Structure 1
Amino acid sequence: MNAIILLAFAIICEVFGSTMLKKSEGFKKFLPSIGVVIGMGLAFYFLSLAIRTLPIGTVYAIWAGAGTALTTLVGVVVFKDHFNLKKGIGLAFIICGVIALKISTGQAH
């Protein structure tokens, strides 16, 4: 499977796990707590597959940056977290950084 697709799965699973972490209320709710374990477990599994063919620094930066941006958006949409200009600028910097790292690898993935 394409390493970029594996990385995308890792990001989606990490965002799911983080969302379930919020829903678990400090691991007090059973099903969301199971969601944390499954989401994070799958995230690290897919991440480990992606770093077999892509540079680890780039993969981790994309995973962390995209995961942060998507988790922030989930917080705003699902949990009604406050969104302001500073948060928007921060997310823009993360996205620009991820793009720069991807370009710097020189790979056509």
Structure 2
Amino acid sequence: MNKAWLMLALAITAEVIATTSLKASAGFTRPLPSVLTVCGYAASFWLLAQILKTLEVGIVYAVWSGVGLAAVALIGVFLYGESVSLLKALGLLAILVGVVLLNLAA
């Protein structure tokens, strides 16, 4: 795995932490989750800016948003008890398949 792909994994992790913390921040009324949200998004976007020096924007954004979306959806189910249905699961699967196809086409 080259450096850009490792940085993309870190950008996704930072974004997932930020989004999960955003829910926990209760509208930015809780200090620690609020700080994690701002710092996580800042780190994620800084990493994305570095990655885009070497990788294609379409591929980077597809992977970042698709994997991030799937991870946040799963965390929502397991951490926050959010609902899951067959239709939601199929939607997530469709997104992940799309990300894989874009990477294969690159």
**TM-score of Structure 1 vs Structure 2, range by shorter chain:** over 0.9
**Structure-2 residue corresponding to 1:39:** 40
Q: Distance in 1 between matches of 2:75 and 2:48?
A: 21
SS of the residue corresponding to residue 81 of structure 2 reads coil
Please give the TM-score of this superposition, normalised by the length of structure 2: 0.96
CA–CA distance in 2 between the matches of 1:75 and 1:103? Answer: 29
AA matched with 2:84: F
* 3-state SS, counterpart of residue 10 of structure 1: helix
1:64 maps to which residue?
65
Shift of 1:48: 1.1
Looking at structure 1, the residues matched to 90 and 10 of structure 2 have their Cα atoms a distance apart, in angstroms, of: 26
- Give the equivalent residue in structure 2 for 1:88: 89
Q: RMSD of the alignment, in Å? A: 0.9
**TM-score, reference length from structure 1:** 0.93
Partner Cα separation in structure 1 for residue 80 and residue 105 of structure 2: 35
Identity %, equivalent residues = 39
Structure 1 alignment gaps of length 5 or more: none
Q: Gapped runs of 5+ residues in structure 2?
A: none
- Range moving further from structure 2, 17-26 or 48-57: 48-57
